[in-house]
Structure 1
Amino acid sequence: MSVIQKKSLAQEVADRLIAGIIAKEYTIGDQLPIEPELMKMYGVGRSSIREAIKILSIQGVLRVQQGVGTFVVSDNVQESLESQINRAEIEEVLEVRSLIEAKIAAKAALHHHEDELKIIKSYLDLRGIMAEKNQALECYEADINFHVSIAEACGNPLLKEIYKIASKQVMRTFENGHNNNTDAFKASHELHTSLYHSIKDRDADRAAHIAQQIIDKLF
């Protein structure tokens, strides 16, 4: 099943180190702080620091000299899309989602497989159940996974990945901004059900129209 996966601590540290290199906090030739200092700086354990350094060493950004330390050997780095989205304002993330939501729904209507349709339906049902029970966190997660499972079925891997990354930020907004209330999710459930049926019926135009209606209600 399609579930929003949290980024690993090691990848978070790697992304923050890359951001530091981009911001010239670390330049070529600089030695990174020792492991205990990095652990304190990033609030993670030794294994996460070592894995982050390994990630960046494989990318050719860092070089570990045994018994000496870890050095920056390249500033030819690009901040990951996930890091950029994580730093973006939620309005920017929602704008990106608005631009691709209808396209993803239309493509899912045309390209979905039966097993993918079952996953979409399972999250739709779970969304409705959790909304009626006022189990807010579970409802928010089911809603996000409903939309992500549609993206999984769209047949375009790049659109899918962009959508999945943006959805993590939207999930955080749900958690922080809906005050553990599921009323909006109850009110919109019929619209989400219509989206599912339009995808099931392979009606791309209707799927796109309904998906845009749903996303417009977020603004």
Structure 2
Amino acid sequence: MPHVQRHPLAAQAAEVLLGRIRAGEWPLGHKLPGETTLATQLGVGRSTLREAVRELSGRGVLESRQGAGVFVTALEAAEDWDTVLRRAGIVTVVEARIAIEAESAALAAHRRTPADLRAMGRALAARAEAVGSVEDLVDADTAFHRTVVTAAHNDVLTGMFDAFVPRSRHAMIDMLRLRPLSDEAADHRAHEVLLNAVRARDAASAAAASRVHLTSLIAAFT
């Protein structure tokens, strides 16, 4: 059983875990051993193991489920994406969202189906109800924006959005904790404007609504 021998321990532990996952020790969807057992196998403390699991969770490889354990959700990590995104600041993340989402909104205005519109409407309604915590709002907001991206019916854009979600989620949570929304009603209306533009098949307005909304986040934060 390979042990971790060099610092930083958490990064080393993450790489050992990833190597074992790649080798097929734990198949997709499989639950990892308990924390104490796994920490002993790796030769690290439980806090170091938890940090390693958090790292691999951020890279989409593992998922911690409350009360159930840690499960394998991917067999490979996008190393280059991870390296770039970890260096990215909040503003850089929002700028990248604009690049993906404004074009997706324009395409969605041309290509959306009745089912897409229903999905967007449901996601927008769920977003309005997400008032429990910053995390709940960010997750509901992400779900809405994903319906816009998927309505573009471009697998590459959808894949880029999905790959970007872990880093985007952390950045949006950090942003809202540092600068809570000053006008939640106005923020929600901005999303309604985006949906209405897609519904009206107005590509220019849809792209503008996406860009203006996300740009306003940068302005509020900076």
Q: TM-score range by the shorter chain?
A: 0.5 to 0.7
| 1:110 match | 110
Deviations 1:123-163 (A, max 9, x none): 11111112xx4533211111111112211111221122222
Deviations 1:19-47 (A, max 9, x none): xxxxxxxxxxxxxxx52328x64446987
Contact kept? 1:108, 1:199, Cα under 8 Å: yes
| 1:98 match | 98
Code of the residue aligned with 1:142 in structure 2: it is A
Q: Secondary structure at the match of 2:217?
A: coil
1:92-171 counterparts in 2 under 5 A? 92-130=92-130, 133-171=131-169
How far the C-alpha of 1:178 sits from its partner, in A, is: 1.8
Identity over aligned pairs, percent: 22
Greater RCO, 1 or 2 (C-alpha within 8 Å, sep 6+) = 1
Q: Secondary structure at the match of 1:35?
A: coil
Gapped runs of 5+ residues in structure 1? 1-33, 56-77
Q: TM-score, normalised by structure 2?
A: 0.61
1:31-50 counterparts in 2 under 5 A? 35-37=2-4, 41-42=10-11, 43=13, 49-50=19-20
Q: TM-score, normalised by structure 1?
A: 0.62
Code of the residue aligned with 1:116 in structure 2: it is D
| 2:188 match | 189
| 1:86 match | 86
Aligned length: 162
Cα distance, 1:177–1:93 mapped onto 2, change above 3 Å: closer
Contact kept? 2:90, 2:175, Cα under 8 Å: no
| 1:172 match | 170
| 1:201 match | 200
Higher-Rg member (1/2)? 1
| 1:210 match | 209
CA RMSD of aligned residues (A): 3.0
Q: For residues 185 and 167 of structure 2, what CA distance do their matches in structure 1 show?
A: 22
Deviations 1:70-108 (A, max 9, x none): xxxxxxxx9433542233233332222222322110101
Cα distance, 1:82–1:149 mapped onto 2, change above 3 Å: farther
Contact kept? 1:135, 1:182, Cα under 8 Å: no
Q: For residues 136 and 110 of structure 2, what CA distance do their matches in structure 1 show?
A: 29
